[in-house]
């Protein structure tokens, strides 16, 4: 079905149909409704490439995800996609695996105007490489909120969230609180570890133990916890920096014949929905994952529309969801 046939069915000119398709403000609501009804009746699909050449707008956003198997990343992407669609955009998703060659290939789409901007969830140590590739193109960094980063960012206060978790466990009588951390190339991992260390010091606790998981997986969480449980003094509480790791933590504790939370309390991080179905249900720090994704899109579109605007560093609220693992 062509644009001419849509125009004939709606009883308007092809120029009017074009203005409706491009969301031009100078179209009366009654006329717009007639054109949209005709488009739906005809199942008309506009030529996106022609529109891009005409307007220099692809209405496509590139999203670089280091690990799509991580439920946190998946939930953020859902928020990104929902907000992008609400704003009349689509996303091109790249599961980069933090591989430079893969990111380079996708970021070349910025030069060709196939995409208008990019949202990344990469580790903070990757930012210099990405800056060299992205240049002055619109860019938002999600979940890694470095104030020194010259582009807009969206995150939570990871330091405060972890420090508050330590205080919560201390108030419950826990005195040997351990941390299962992940890849410290990520700023969130650095900030959560710093919050953990500072809160132990504030509480006057001398016992501490940090075990580093090889990746964000249940198996890695189990292996990291096995190291903690092998210590002469085992922890009586463990904070995991992700819910996925916390599942492995719980498995290791139960396999060791210990009881959660009587012997060892467990707190996760992210607020992934499945954690309420674990046995026992997991206490977790809930991040607003969907809102983080949506806000990233909003900031990116602001950057696209106003290239000279000052970068914004949004810190969204987190909350503790207390369940029977503590």
Per-residue pLDDT tens for 37-84? 887 777 665 554 445 444 456 789 999 998 888 999 999 999 999 999
Token pair 């999203």: residue: 63
Please check whether residues 180 and 274 belong to one and the same domain: yes
Please check whether residues 221 and 108 belong to one and the same domain: no
Domain contains 99:
yes
Please check whether residues 177 and 146 belong to one and the same domain: no
Domain contains 87:
yes
Domain that holds residue 37: 3-46
Q: Are 216 and 186 in contact (CB under 8 A)?
A: no
Question: For the chain, what is the mean pLDDT?
Answer: 89
Domain contains 309:
yes
Please check whether residues 295 and 232 belong to one and the same domain: no
Sorting pLDDT into bands at 50, 70 and 90, what band is 103?
confident
Domain contains 63:
yes
Lowest-pLDDT range of 46-60, 187-201, 256-270, 277-291: 46-60
Domain contains 325:
no
pLDDT for residue 61? 94
Q: How far apart are the first and last CA of the chain?
A: 61
Number of H helices, E strands in the chain: 12, 12
Q: Is the pLDDT higher at 134 or at 113?
A: 134
pLDDT for residue 53? 43
pLDDT for residue 23? 65
Domain contains 260:
yes
Rounded to whole angstroms, how far apart are CA atoms 100 and 306?
Answer: 29
Per the structure, the count of domains in the chain is: 3
Rounded to whole angstroms, how far apart are CA atoms 104 and 62?
Answer: 12
pLDDT for residue 18 is more than 90: no
Please check whether residues 10 and 21 belong to one and the same domain: yes
pLDDT for residue 7? 81
Please check whether residues 194 and 279 belong to one and the same domain: yes
Please check whether residues 166 and 73 belong to one and the same domain: no
Token pair 């105007």: residue: 113
Q: Which two tokens stand for residue 179?
A: 């941390």
Domain contains 322:
no
Burial 68-102 (b: 16+ CB within 10 A, else e): eebbbbebbbebbbebbeeeebebeebebebeeee
Please check whether residues 176 and 272 belong to one and the same domain: yes
Please check whether residues 150 and 216 belong to one and the same domain: no
> What is the phi/psi pair of residue 127, to 5°?
-60, -40
For 308-326, how does the pLDDT look when each residue is reduced to its tens digit (9 = 90+)?
889 999 999 999 999 999 9
Kindly report the CATH number assigned to the domain that includes residue 277. Answer: 3.40.50.2300
Please check whether residues 122 and 223 belong to one and the same domain: no
pLDDT for residue 175? 97
Please check whether residues 207 and 276 belong to one and the same domain: yes
Average pLDDT for 151-162: 96
Average pLDDT for 273-302: 97
Kindly report the CATH number assigned to the domain that includes residue 30. Answer: 1.10.260.40
Please check whether residues 100 and 118 belong to one and the same domain: yes
Domain contains 240:
yes
CA dihedral 97, 103, 106, 111 (to 10 degrees): 160
């Amino acid at each position: 079905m062509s644009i001419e046939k849509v125009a004939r069915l709606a009883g308007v000119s092809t120029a009017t149909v074009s203005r409706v398709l491009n969301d031009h403000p100078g179209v009366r609501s009654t006329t717009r409704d007639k054109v949209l009804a005709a488009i739906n009746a005809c199942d008309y699909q506009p030529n996106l490439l022609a529109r891009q050449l005409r307007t220099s707008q692809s209405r496509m956003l590139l999203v670089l995800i280091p690990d799509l198997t991580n439920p946190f990343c998946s939930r953020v992407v859902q928020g990104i996609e929902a907000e992008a669609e609400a704003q009349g955009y689509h996303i091109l998703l790249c599961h980069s695996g933090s591989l430079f060659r893969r990111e380079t290939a996708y970021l070349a789409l910025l030069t060709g105007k196939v995409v208008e901007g990019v949202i990344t969830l990469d580790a903070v140590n990757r930012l210099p490489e990405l800056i060299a590739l992205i240049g002055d193109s619109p860019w938002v960094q999600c979940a890694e909120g470095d104030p020194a980063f010259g582009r807009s960012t969206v995150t939570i206060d990871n330091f405060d969230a972890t420090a508050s978790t330590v205080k919560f466990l201390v108030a419950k009588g826990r005195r040997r609180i351990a941390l299962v951390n992940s890849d410290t190339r990520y700023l969130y991992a650095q900030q959560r570890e710093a919050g953990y260390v500072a809160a132990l010091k504030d509480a006057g606790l001398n016992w501490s133990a940090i075990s580093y998981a090889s990746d964000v997986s249940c198996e890695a969480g189990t292996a990291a916890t096995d190291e903690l449980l092998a210590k002469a003094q085992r922890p009586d509480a463990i904070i995991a920096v992700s819910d996925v790791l916390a599942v492995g933590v719980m498995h290791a504790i139960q396999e060791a014949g210990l009881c959660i939370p009587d012997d060892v309390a467990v707190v996760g991080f992210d607020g992934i929905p499945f954690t309420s179905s674990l046995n026992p249900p997991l206490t977790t720090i809930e991040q607003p994952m969907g809102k983080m994704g949506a806000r990233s899109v909003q900031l990116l579109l602001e950057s696209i529309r106003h290239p000279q605007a000052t970068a914004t560093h949004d810190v969204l609220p987190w909350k503790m969801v207390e369940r029977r693992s503590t």
